[in-house]
Amino acid sequence: MTLPASRQSPATAASRYTRRSVLTGAFALATAAALPAGAAGRAYAAAGPNIIGCAAWGARAASEPVVVLANRPERIIVHHTATANVTDYSRQRAVALARAIQTYHMDAQGWIDTGQHFTVSRGAFVLEGRHNSLAELNSGRRQVRAAHCVGQNTVSIGIENEGTYTSEAPPAAQYAALADLCAHICDQYGLPASEIYGHRDFNSTACPGDRLYALLPGLRRDVATRLGTPLSEPETNPDEDPVWDLVRQATGRPPAATLGEYLPAGLLR
């Protein structure tokens, strides 16, 4: 008998996800390495992640029209929600999380809609955040203006990952889902895997947590493997900080905004 998703162990949840994915996280690196680069990219592109759209999780309408920009994004920015590291890996939990985030962003923050473009639950479910993000990703030509990172909301795709990853790493299945989503975004928008950053690279914040942030170099490599492309890292002078240089170039100033990510107690039920 198969247990309900909410009662499954992390190992069971991870195995459920790996069976439905063409390439998943570190579990499939050996398989990807065995494929020619082009074949790995084609194998990934043929699958893509299953993304639960706003209508499917019952999103409220945005309070005003969502702005669709003419440009493609230049990078991906990874966040964590700074919520509890629950062991409920069900779709119901993922949907409840999406609704709670939208309620907080709209009713407490005063934003027009959910701030980020996409959310990855601890159960490895991927959900659309701000309306029209999925449609524009599918087109690969434009992006939605968001509210996830000061100075980057018109040039980046924001991904929230359920959990708090200051001292604990995300579940393997969640990490694999994040890697799949990042690879799909890179594939659709023509981004290199090297253009994946953490929230703290641009704003004064602990997000996405020390443990998840430490995984970003490996995430870039895993995404590059999924795409079947080499990971090119620019050569840098040790006396220079390439991230701060990038921030100054993109925003005209160094990181300054202190931003925390959390949901008030009782909002997520």
E strands, 137-182, where? 143-144, 156-161
Quote the CA–CA distance of 191 and 158 in Å, as a whole number.
Answer: 14
Among residues 215, 154, 158, which one has the least CA distance to residue 181? 158
User: In the prediction, which pLDDT does 232 show?
Assistant: 76
User: In the prediction, which pLDDT does 269 show?
Assistant: 56
Instruction: Say how many C-beta atoms besides its own lie within 10 A of residue 229's C-beta.
Output: 19
Q: Which residues make Cβ contacts (< 8 Å) with residue 106, sequence separation at least 6?
A: 60, 63, 112, 113, 114
Quote the CA–CA distance of 28 and 180 in Å, as a whole number.
Answer: 12
Largest CA distance in the chain: 59
User: In the prediction, which pLDDT does 231 show?
Assistant: 86
User: In the prediction, which pLDDT does 240 show?
Assistant: 40
Quote the CA–CA distance of 60 and 249 in Å, as a whole number.
Answer: 36
Instruction: Say how many C-beta atoms besides its own lie within 10 A of residue 88's C-beta.
Output: 19
User: In the prediction, which pLDDT does 250 show?
Assistant: 52
User: What does each of the 269 residues of the chain score in pLDDT, given as a tens digit?
Assistant: 434 444 444 444 444 443 334 334 444 333 333 334 444 444 454 467 999 999 999 999 999 999 999 999 999 999 999 999 999 999 999 999 999 999 999 999 999 999 999 999 999 999 999 999 999 999 999 999 999 999 999 999 999 999 999 999 999 999 999 999 999 999 999 999 999 999 999 999 999 999 999 999 999 999 999 999 988 764 333 334 444 445 445 544 444 444 556 676 667 65
User: In the prediction, which pLDDT does 265 show?
Assistant: 63
For 127, phi and psi rounded to 5 degrees? Answer: -125, 145
Quote the CA–CA distance of 262 and 197 in Å, as a whole number.
Answer: 20
Residue that has been written with the tokens 């914040």 in this structure:
205
Among residues 240, 259, 225, which one has the least CA distance to residue 37? 225
pLDDT in tens, 108-140: 999 999 999 999 999 999 999 999 999 999 999
